[in-house]
Amino acid sequence: MEYYRNKTVLVTGAFGGFGLCFISELLNRGARLILSDTPENVRAVGEGTVHITGMEEGRDSQALFIIPADLSSADGCRALHEEYRNQGIGLDMIIHNAGIACWGEYADVPPEFNEKIIDINLLSVMRLNALFLPEIIGRRGHIVYVSSVAGFVATPLGVAYSTSKFGVRGFAMALHGEIRKHGVRTTIVYPFFSRTPILKSRTFGNPAVSYLPGFCSSSPEHVVSCTLQGAARGRLHVCPGFFSRMMWLAARFHPVISAQRKIRGYS
Ligand SMILES: NC(=O)c1ccc[n+]([C@@H]2O[C@H](COP(=O)([O-])OP(=O)(O)OC[C@H]3O[C@@H](n4cnc5c(N)ncnc54)[C@H](OP(=O)(O)O)[C@@H]3O)[C@@H](O)[C@H]2O)c1
């Protein structure tokens, strides 16, 4: 796929499950990478605890630099942007991939944790775009957002998460309406469950999280490959894998799915 050759791509949450797959796919496709993750995860890479596929094949020169940044605050987002500017290179694509989740009923999750989910999953995306937009517009770049099926199907036991992913979808589509005239592309991806560390997120209270059969969850490699293929084809919405596509169709043709359940007295 030539689309990525020599493009400079910023990936957030770069050393998580999807992030590592983005790195290896993008290196294979000839992109140059700016990688960002939490200071703890960047340290783990430095110490060799996290293994990056692709680097050992002599492609480490394509990974331009790694920026530690905690994206849960405006200061962390500014620090990432400042460090990027200090390097004095152009940027063609941002992949907004960093994210957190938790399991539990809304009333059982501490309010600070719900707010942290919104800070990282939604506000960091808005803050980073505000900072990077002039650069992306100047280069007629591309913004890729990792939303979720929970970004179009309201999901109990992950209320703040679902809210953040709906927010990302709304933000991305609205902004797209403003910036496409500058030649900037937008791609929003909606993964269903995929086998990455986020599935082992913290649990609050005693949620009846039902057992998820293995066949329902897709491999992170597949999700990332579909994402990059869809983005290269200029797709606005990408549903990677069977379950994501089925949910997308079901939600479009059967809006009641989004309402979850009927409430007596309401139609
Ligand atoms: N896997 C799924 O089933 C699934 C489904 C739909 C959507 N998604 C979305 O896919 C994206 C990637 O998730 P993943 O599945 O690859 O999970 P993951 O392995 O947990 O990766 C998420 C990455 O974001 C990092 N991150 C967390 N908080 C951060 C912060 N404050 N500042 C900067 N980086 C931070 C994580 O660091 P830590 O390791 O320290 O947390 C991790 O490296 C997320 O946006 C997630 O919501 C995942």
Residues facing 238 on adjacent strands:
189
Q: How confident is the model at residue 196 (pLDDT cuts 50, 70, 90)?
A: very high
Q: Determine the average pLDDT of the residues in 134-145.
A: 98
pLDDT at 59 (0 to 100): 66
Residue 265 lies in a domain: no
Residue 184 has pLDDT above 90, yes or no: yes
Q: Determine the average pLDDT of the residues in 236-251.
A: 94
Cβ(99) – ligand 1 distance below 6 Å: yes
Q: How confident is the model at residue 215 (pLDDT cuts 50, 70, 90)?
A: confident
| 45, 49, 165, 196: residue to mutate for ligand 1 pocket, most atoms within 8 A of CB | 196
pLDDT at 261 (0 to 100): 55
pLDDT at 169 (0 to 100): 98
Please give the distance, rounded to the nearest whole angstrom, from the Cα atom of residue 56 to the centre of ligand 1.
Answer: 24
Contact 66, 42 (CB under 8 A): yes
Residue 83 lies in a domain: yes
Q: What CATH code is carried by the domain that includes residue 158?
A: 3.40.50.720
Measured by CA distance, the residue closest to atom 20 of ligand 1 is: 198
Residue 171 lies in a domain: yes
Residue 264 lies in a domain: no
Q: How confident is the model at residue 52 (pLDDT cuts 50, 70, 90)?
A: confident
Tokens of residue 50, six digits: 């996290």
pLDDT at 49 (0 to 100): 73
Q: How confident is the model at residue 18 (pLDDT cuts 50, 70, 90)?
A: very high
32 φ/ψ angles, rounded to the nearest 5 degrees: -110, 140
Measured by CA distance, the residue closest to atom 42 of ligand 1 is: 16
For residue 127, what are the domain limits?
A: 2-257
Express each pLDDT in 73-122 by its tens digit.
999 999 999 999 999 999 999 999 999 999 999 999 999 999 999 999 99
Question: Mean pLDDT over all residues of the chain?
Answer: 91
Please give the distance, rounded to the nearest whole angstrom, from the Cα atom of residue 105 to the centre of ligand 1.
Answer: 20
Residue 265 has pLDDT above 90, yes or no: no
Cβ(224) – ligand 1 distance below 6 Å: no
Residue 267 lies in a domain: no
Q: Determine the average pLDDT of the residues in 150-162.
A: 95
pLDDT at 139 (0 to 100): 96
Looking at per-residue confidence, does 50 or 206 come out higher? 206
Closest CA to 84 of 70, 99, 64: 64
Residue 129 lies in a domain: yes
Q: How many domains does the chain have?
A: 1
Residue 262 lies in a domain: no
Per cent of the chain over pLDDT 70 is 90
pLDDT at 252 (0 to 100): 84
| 35, 100, 199, 244: residue to mutate for ligand 1 pocket, most atoms within 8 A of CB | 100
Cβ(162) – ligand 1 distance below 6 Å: no
Residue 221 has pLDDT above 70, yes or no: yes
Q: How confident is the model at residue 260 (pLDDT cuts 50, 70, 90)?
A: low
Q: What share of the chain is helix, strand, coil (3-state, %, to 5)?
A: 50, 15, 35
Cβ(171) – ligand 1 distance below 6 Å: no
Q: How confident is the model at residue 58 (pLDDT cuts 50, 70, 90)?
A: low
Residue 222 lies in a domain: yes
Distance, CA of 108 to chain centre: 26
Contact 251, 258 (CB under 8 A): yes
- Which stretch of 50-54, 60-64, 248-252, 254-258 has the lowest confidence by average pLDDT? 254-258
Per cent of the chain over pLDDT 90 is 81
Q: How confident is the model at residue 67 (pLDDT cuts 50, 70, 90)?
A: very high
